[in-house]
Structure 1
Amino acid sequence: MPPAHINQLVIPPKSSTPVSFAENIRAYINENLPTHADAFRTDIEALDRLRSNALTGIEQQASQKIEALQTYLLHLLLLIKRLPPSTPPRLPYSPPFPPASFALTAPLPPAESNFHWEICNVMWNLGAAWSARAGEEGRKTSEALGRAKRAFESAAGLYRTLRTDQLPALQEALGKTKPLPIDLTESWLEVAERLMLVQAQECFWQAAVAGGNMKNVTIAKLALAVAELYESVNQAMFVASPPISDSFPTAWLSHIEVKRSHFFAAAQFRQASADGEAHKYGDEIARLHLAAALVKKGSAEAKRGVSQLVTNDIASLSKAINESTSRAERDNDLIYHQDVPAASSLPPIQARNVTAPAPIDGWKDPRRVLGSMLFEQLMPWAVTRAILIYQERKKEWLEDQIVLKDEELEQTATRTLQELNLPAALDALERPTGLPPSLLGKAEEVRKAGGVKRVQALFADVVKLGGSNSKLLDDAYDILDLEASEDEGLRASGLPVDRPLSQEANADLIEQASRYSKLMQQARESDEQVLAKWEEWEEIIEKLEQDEDALEEYVPSVGAGSQRDSSQYQPMVHVRQLRILLESLDDLKENRRRLRSQARHSIATDPNGETDIVHKAELLGMDNLEPEMFEDLIQSLMSKLEVWSDKMNDQAELLSGRLDEIREENLLFEELTLNDPVMKERERALQELDVAYHRYSEVLGNLTEGLNFYNGMAQYLNDLRENCKAWARDRRAEAEHLRSLQHQPAPAPSAPAALVPPASPTFRSIRTQQADLVASPSAADTRRSSYGLPASNSQSWSDGSPPSHPSSNIRVLSLAPDLPPPDSLEWQELPPLQPPTSSTKSKGKGGPRKGY
């Protein structure tokens, strides 16, 4: 509601709880910058003081907070260039008009961890402070009205800049799909801006009227501009999609409608005066009739909770219109005899708007107003972000172009050797009996890692954790399903339910659960693939982890008679050549390992890139930087890393050539050893055990990753389940409240209508006032006298004392002796009494009035 001494609306501020930035800012500085956070202790403390001064006690002293809010806002505009927007903790802001809630606990106010969110809400409160400043100005002098007009225009400028500049930045920072509070939507802010502008125009109109020097035709144009602006406010409220009218107090809606009618009528009234001065007496009367119809509509709306000043204003206008109409009609009938035209044929009034949103002082250049800024020695976050982007791209490049390339080359070499059955074929020929040392070493590694039992235990842990996570997700779905069933039952009971359907209210929770469900399904599919791989190789891995005697028994040996003199055995020539080629593969692998190490060290320790970014920032100016400004420089720096990828490509060519040589040599080797079945079986067994070792390592790594995934996922799923529980509790409390409202006794009993004689006190009217009759005798006597009834000690009461009601202490009256008998035709039916308007408040948005 507006202040008692003015007839205009003041936007209320949004309250917030005390919050300190210290912990989050210190963490950012210590984690991302070489400077320790203690170097900025004074700046951090000053920022906390600025927020406290700007937001503490704003409800009581809003007009005195303009300077504090302005200073804090300008520091934020500079600070957001120095720190990432996501730096602050969660910053809660309650809505200006809190909605009714039936939950047992009050809903938490909207809160976000973002400087853009803080800036938007501070701008909101600064606009509210300017509107309160306008409300504190008097309305009796032109100087005070001028100050009020400028204050309203400043508020309008705040809300326009918030709507057009900061709101898109906030939506971009939080995500375009994230819903914002209704009071931070474009439609709501447009209403606030228009409301401030129309009240500024109204101040100018009031000053023009009070001055007494302006012509009626000019005042009419000013009044029409006020009316049209109020009309635009009304349209913005009801035409918005989705509608936002329910987010305003109903008294505000009535206020705006009354003002709209008032100023449309005032414009016609003033133009009628101008027409009379111009001897257009017929037009004068037509406009007065039009003004009377408009003011009548506004007077009817004024009965719906608007301030007394607004009601008095329109009543005064109505009186003036009626007096002018009587005078004009009398003069025209007696003297002028001009025809009164239809209202539609009257020349239109040209509105004259003299207001515009005022720019925010210091918005474009906060330093000019502040002089100095906080965190001036802190590297702008855009520069820090550009450096981090460069570092991340270097890491990604190193991973993709060097590390992964090296791993792909190693996999290619391993796969080629497995296809060629190398070096197992060479081991089988060189060692026709016994086991190769390389195989014995691999078997020892498997035994030390835990062998088959280790993998089986990991599988059991993965299954257990996966089932536990699935149970958490199922619990969350069950909670939502149960609440949905309860909501359907509540609606089926016939109770009026003014709240969203479950599938609408829990959409965010369902979307989150669906996302987790997809992740869990992907994890189960991965588990099945790992299990299939394990089942395929489990039997061979069991043999690999056995002792040396068991392995020798599994791997066939070539009989002593089959052994040949290596110097006279032709395949040994190719064996020696293949061994040389295989050793060269090891040399290439070592070369790639050194290349990886050198590239990683060079990329990690090269400071030139960061230095170049900082130098460009200094050239551009530190206060207006964005990470995108450094994109070209980053790409140029990244191109310098190609020298390392060229070296890795050279290694790839060397490996490809070496593998081709091995294939050719192995083909000659196989042609000479093709007809030795015992040797082939030995080769197969050795190769099978070698592959089993690699599969064991893969499965072990896959299961470890799976455990880490399920352990991390458990926390997210548990949080989801708890959120579902809390949401369902609030919904049940809300439903219980709706049921309790249905079962509450009516404010007045709905007994069958009684028959009463005309203009006589009725027995039914007394029975409906049960609470009054229960009161003390002295108070009851007072009320009885007001009803025209005898006192409690009167002989008119039956038996000398009122008897007690069976179910209450209500006293029952006997019929007065002067009333007709009950079956007399003199009695008439009385319509049911309505509950007293002062004893019942409308609930929710569906009621006619919210009681603001």
Structure 2
Amino acid sequence: MFLFKQQQSAAADKNGNDNSVLLAVKFKTTEKAVFCKSLSEYIASSYAEPPEAYRDDLRVLDELREAATAALDVNANVLKRNIRYYGQLSFILSKFPADINVKFTWYNAFDSDSTVTCQDLYFERASVLFNIGAIYSQLACRESRNDKDSLNRAFGYFQNAAGVFSYLQSKVVSECRTQLTTDLSSYMLTTLENLMLCQAQECVWHRSVLSHMKDANVARVATQVAEFYDLVIESGSHGSLSNTIPAYWPDNFKAKKLYFYAEAQYRKAQDCLANSQYGEEVARMQAAQEFCNQTNELVTYDQRWSKHIRAAVVDMTRAQMEQVSNNRTRAERDNDVIYLDPVPSSLSLATISPYKLAQSKVPEIVENPGKFLGEEELGPPLFKGLVPFVIHQAASLYEDRKDQLVSNDLINALDELTADCESALSSLNLPNALEAIKKPIGLPPNILVGADEIRSEGGYLGIKRLLDNAIAANNTAAGLLDTAEDALNKEAHEDLRIKQGASAGSARAKRKQSGELTNTFRSEIAKYRGIVRKAHDSDAVIKGQVDTWSKFFALLGSPREEIERQVPSTTANPITDPHHSQIIQRLQQYLDEVSIMRRERLKSMDKLKRIALEDDVTPALNEEMQRLAAQSSTPILKFELHQFEEVFSQQLDKYTSWRKYIAEEREAQSELLDSIREANQAFIVARSNHPLLQQRDKALSNLETAIKRYREASFNLHDGSRFYASLEGELLKLREGCLDFTMARHMDALELIGVGQGEHPTDLSQAPDQDNQQQQQPTNLVWDPTMPLKYTSPR
């Protein structure tokens, strides 16, 4: 009992300080945050409700947060305040989106320099739940280890703490939408859960010793404590926790693990003594001694260097070492002198099976807080009358689906039908062909618009002027290239003459050849000649088109009356054949039916849009929400959008009849277009026998083609004008570069042959060698006053 009394003394610290053999979790701390202003604005803008109706709820919510996060001593009231705030947060998450405009700042429980600030109600709830687990751990550590009732309460607190950290890791943290501090990481929460289970099982061991349980059972309980510490060492050694987990925890874990393995062997040895198994008693005591030796090495090292292991833990391990050492000496002496029982090896000893009683227990009020809303524990639910945010999401989703169905499927299908009809009529040249019969005088609108364009651009003379400018610009470009090339050729010829007659080794002979200096210029000239040649060919093609269509261009540039006069008309000789008139009448009747069909279709589309505009799904969604709430045992309903799929289907069913209407319209239009094609074929045959109509059609077709050709030529010539303007600037630079080069070379040549500016040699090849002249000049020049002054020619 000496060992247990030492543990009782060390464990009975009610302040959770370093004298305790158990470890408590610190609180997460936070900055002040206020819900009232942001939630009021959100209710007004997103829910279209007066926020004044929820003034009391907003005030209570702010008071709950302030009370839950206040820095107070740990007691049952602090736990109640945190649980109440947690429960209300769980409920309002079904009413508001998580990212409301309230900033929450929480510090890492194990590192005050690490913080997270975000707008996330899930993060706020997770942080509060972490503190609930921390409160359970601190309440457990404050319980006395001297009586069974206190140990039972501590056991329950530790199990609840383990359950809270487990629930936080598996259900709550995954919903957070921000980066978390490492105290909320999966590895840290698993480590905390395992630690709480260790200490809960340790309470069982304390109680079993206090209750004088059989030594064999105490050994099994101790074995489970040691195995729990193995788990917490494994989870706590993850690399991401190296800078987060308190520095003194790992060594305490190791010391406690070795302690309880030694305790298990010691208790099993006591059981062997009671059952006259003296040899196994000695082996068990030796095994316990080995664990004590390992603990002693750890404790001695820790005290010498890091001083991480708590003094209370050091005291209990030393007491255990003394007790085990004394009992081992006694057992070995008794066996050697009295019993002479064979001592088995440590490897042959039967494993002590663990006896697990501690397990994670999530408090019901944490796992299902809605069950306690309206009761004393959590109070009445806040914002009870507010429509949940998911209903607004569902209504928005329904609007998207409705728009997709109405706009993209139904309306677009009707528009496509109409477009197909217009395309089919256009391919048949209807109703233009009929209008040409009924109103033969006048020109089609496309001809009139085209003629106005051509007239505004100057008609044939305007296009001819553009063409002439293009040809002139091409000639100018070619002339610039010729000038540049001529300059280079002259310079090359002059260079060749300079080198003739030059003595070997002289400056004239060593002068660089023109070909080495003019490669770049000549490459540029060749490149631009190709460009100018291609432009000339393009201009020739345009000129051919202009010449071919010149008469039509001239006509289209004339007044409208002149164009109408030139186009054949059927006014003087209309179609009078009764059979032909009947064909025309039937075709016109079909076209009138098309017009009626279009008008009715537009009315139907307007009706469909009106129905969609008046379609409000909110009442149906509220009804479904109330039905789901009635079936639930808790007011905290976490609605998901998929729960309203049946409502969406029922509401969208009203548009099913429109799909049938579209199918009927498609079939009716197909039949009508078939009739039109048949009537139009007969109409074409009738027209083919009328020569004036053929001539008119041919004339209008030619005018349409002429307008197209004019536009093409005009576009190309205007584009060519911009091209030539740019090209001329580049060619001017090239020409000036060549001229500058030839001038510089010419001046250099004159200098080499000793000819000043203004003087001209008769034959460059016969010019005196300047180097030789310089060598022949006397070197002992003395000024003679009687000699006349001689001035050097200026350079």
Give the shorter-chain TM-score range: 0.5 to 0.7
1:593 to 602, 614, 619: 602
Partners of 1:322 and 1:127 in 2: CA distance: 40
Partners of 2:111 and 2:702 in 1: CA distance: 78
Question: Does 1:134 pair with 2:140?
Answer: yes
Deviation at 1:259, TM superposition (A): 1.3
Partners of 1:291 and 1:114 in 2: CA distance: 52
Partners of 2:126 and 2:559 in 1: CA distance: 77
Q: How does 1:586-665 map to 2 (within 5 A)?
A: 586-606=595-615, 609-621=617-629, 623=635, 624=637, 625-665=639-679
Partners of 2:101 and 2:442 in 1: CA distance: 68
> What's 1:79 paired with?
92
Question: Does 1:69 pair with 2:75?
Answer: no
> What's 2:159 paired with?
153
> What's 2:697 paired with?
679
SS at match of 1:82: coil
Question: Does 1:121 pair with 2:127?
Answer: yes
Q: How does 1:538-617 map to 2 (within 5 A)?
A: 559=566, 561-565=568-572, 567-568=574-575, 581-606=590-615, 609-617=617-625
Aligned residue identity for 2:32: P
Partners of 1:554 and 1:269 in 2: CA distance: 125
Question: Does 1:315 pair with 2:328?
Answer: no
Partners of 1:599 and 1:136 in 2: CA distance: 71
1:735-781 CA-to-partner distances (Å, cap 9, x unmatched) read xxxxxxxxxxxxxxxxxxxxxxxxxxxxxxxxxxxxxxxxxxxxxxx
Are the counterparts in 1 of residues 222 and 260 from structure 2 also a CA contact under 8 Å? yes
1:49 to 53, 57, 63: 63
Deviation at 1:230, TM superposition (A): 0.9
Question: Does 1:300 pair with 2:297?
Answer: yes
Deviation at 1:195, TM superposition (A): 1.2
> What's 1:223 paired with?
222
> What's 1:772 paired with?
none
Q: How does 1:29-40 map to 2 (within 5 A)?
A: 29-40=43-54
Partners of 1:372 and 1:443 in 2: CA distance: 82
Pick closer, same or farther for the CA change 1:600–1:244 going to 2, 3 Å.
same
> What's 1:483 paired with?
none
CA RMSD, Structure 1 to Structure 2 (Å): 4.0
Are the counterparts in 2 of residues 78 and 366 from structure 1 also a CA contact under 8 Å? no
1:144 to 150, 162, 175: 150
Pick closer, same or farther for the CA change 1:234–1:317 going to 2, 3 Å.
same
Partners of 1:360 and 1:443 in 2: CA distance: 89
Are the counterparts in 2 of residues 595 and 648 from structure 1 also a CA contact under 8 Å? no
> What's 2:273 paired with?
276
> What's 2:327 paired with?
324
> What's 1:489 paired with?
none
Aligned residue identity for 2:204: F
Deviation at 1:158, TM superposition (A): 0.8
> What's 1:289 paired with?
286
Are the counterparts in 1 of residues 282 and 331 from structure 2 also a CA contact under 8 Å? yes
Deviation at 1:627, TM superposition (A): 3.6
Q: How does 1:693-772 map to 2 (within 5 A)?
A: none
1:402 to 394, 397, 410: 410
Deviation at 1:265, TM superposition (A): 0.9
Aligned residue identity for 2:384: E
In structure 2, runs of 5+ residues without a counterpart are 1-14, 453-555, 709-795
Partners of 2:188 and 2:152 in 1: CA distance: 26
Are the counterparts in 2 of residues 435 and 552 from structure 1 also a CA contact under 8 Å? no
SS at match of 2:599: helix
Pick closer, same or farther for the CA change 1:74–1:269 going to 2, 3 Å.
same
Are the counterparts in 2 of residues 262 and 295 from structure 1 also a CA contact under 8 Å? yes
Are the counterparts in 2 of residues 10 and 132 from structure 1 also a CA contact under 8 Å? yes
Q: Give % identity.
A: 24
Are the counterparts in 1 of residues 441 and 569 from structure 2 also a CA contact under 8 Å? no
Aligned residue identity for 2:152: G
Aligned residue identity for 1:266: E
Pick closer, same or farther for the CA change 1:578–1:566 going to 2, 3 Å.
farther
Partners of 2:562 and 2:151 in 1: CA distance: 104
Are the counterparts in 2 of residues 163 and 186 from structure 1 also a CA contact under 8 Å? yes
> What's 2:545 paired with?
none
Scaled by the length of structure 1, what TM-score is found? 0.59
> What's 1:200 paired with?
200
Partners of 1:93 and 1:183 in 2: CA distance: 11
Deviation at 1:267, TM superposition (A): 1.1
1:639-662 CA-to-partner distances (Å, cap 9, x unmatched) read 222123333333333333333333
Are the counterparts in 2 of residues 428 and 682 from structure 1 also a CA contact under 8 Å? no
2:171 to 165, 171, 195: 165
Partners of 1:296 and 1:556 in 2: CA distance: 119
Are the counterparts in 1 of residues 208 and 218 from structure 2 also a CA contact under 8 Å? yes
Are the counterparts in 2 of residues 154 and 360 from structure 1 also a CA contact under 8 Å? yes
> What's 2:753 paired with?
none
Partners of 2:404 and 2:707 in 1: CA distance: 36
Are the counterparts in 2 of residues 432 and 558 from structure 1 also a CA contact under 8 Å? no
1:260 to 257, 260, 269: 257
1:651-704 CA-to-partner distances (Å, cap 9, x unmatched) read 3333333333333333334445568365256358779999xxxxxxxxxxxxxx
> What's 2:508 paired with?
none
Pick closer, same or farther for the CA change 1:216–1:573 going to 2, 3 Å.
same
Partners of 2:205 and 2:562 in 1: CA distance: 106
> What's 1:825 paired with?
none
Scaled by the length of structure 2, what TM-score is found? 0.63
Partners of 1:267 and 1:652 in 2: CA distance: 87
Are the counterparts in 1 of residues 129 and 164 from structure 2 also a CA contact under 8 Å? yes
SS at match of 2:18: coil
Partners of 1:633 and 1:551 in 2: CA distance: 69
Are the counterparts in 2 of residues 555 and 685 from structure 1 also a CA contact under 8 Å? no
In structure 1, runs of 5+ residues without a counterpart are 100-105, 445-548, 691-852
Question: Does 1:412 pair with 2:426?
Answer: no
Partners of 1:554 and 1:370 in 2: CA distance: 93
Partners of 1:10 and 1:559 in 2: CA distance: 106
Which structure has the larger Rg over C-alpha atoms? Answer: 2
1:507-546 CA-to-partner distances (Å, cap 9, x unmatched) read xxxxxxxxxxxxxxxxxxxxxxxxxxxxxxxxxxxxxxxx
Query: How many residues of Structure 1 are paired with residues of Structure 2 in the alignment?
Result: 569
Partners of 1:551 and 1:385 in 2: CA distance: 66
Deviation at 1:263, TM superposition (A): 0.7
Are the counterparts in 2 of residues 558 and 678 from structure 1 also a CA contact under 8 Å? no
Aligned residue identity for 2:264: A
Are the counterparts in 1 of residues 568 and 696 from structure 2 also a CA contact under 8 Å? no
Partners of 2:82 and 2:705 in 1: CA distance: 77
SS at match of 1:621: helix
Partners of 2:260 and 2:152 in 1: CA distance: 20
1:315-341 CA-to-partner distances (Å, cap 9, x unmatched) read 222222222222222333333332221
Partners of 2:583 and 2:678 in 1: CA distance: 10
SS at match of 2:383: coil
SS at match of 1:309: helix
Partners of 1:39 and 1:688 in 2: CA distance: 76
Partners of 2:293 and 2:280 in 1: CA distance: 20
Deviation at 1:24, TM superposition (A): 5.3
> What's 2:499 paired with?
none
Are the counterparts in 2 of residues 429 and 679 from structure 1 also a CA contact under 8 Å? no
> What's 1:472 paired with?
none
Partners of 1:47 and 1:397 in 2: CA distance: 42
